[in-house]
Amino acid sequence: MGFDLGEVLRTVGDQSRLSWTMTGAYVLSPTPPSGDLWTINPADAVVTWSDLVDLSLVWLQVIDGTFIGRLGLGAPQLVITAVDSSYWVVWATDALVIARIRESFRHVESCAAPRTV
């Protein structure tokens, strides 16, 4: 991937109004353990937008993982997925978020709603 989670988060803009979960996050991080690939969570873990921003500053690379933002317990509004260190899938109900992604990154393609929706 030519860009990291932090760049995706900055591009979509503040999404702290959403309730976030992350699942299947496999990352390269300096701690713990030092310089190794490790699993953050195989199942859903509740995080805040601030948590995601902070983690994006620490993680060296996101190999795989899905980050789902919902309004309360409702349907997902924003889904960010890292796929095999190869590309990101960003799906949103907000057209402005999609426009920001299209303006900021090259080789952007449309996609269907993710299965998590």
Q: In this structure, is residue 109 part of a structural domain?
A: no
Domain that holds residue 9: 5-104
Count up the domains in the chain and report the number.
Answer: 1
Report the alpha-carbon distance of residue 3 to residue 17 in Å, rounded: 25
Res. 10: pLDDT tops 90: yes
Confidence label for 59 from pLDDT (cuts 50, 70 and 90): confident
Average pLDDT over residues 37-56: 80
Q: What are phi and psi of 5, to 5 degrees?
A: -55, -40
Res. 8: pLDDT tops 70: yes
Using DSSP's 3-state secondary structure scheme, residue 35 falls into coil
pTM of the model: 0.86
DSSP H or E stretch at residue 14: none
Report the alpha-carbon distance of residue 95 to residue 98 in Å, rounded: 5
What letter represents residue 54's amino acid? D
Higher-scoring residue by pLDDT: 76, 110: 76
Q: In this structure, is residue 81 part of a structural domain?
A: yes
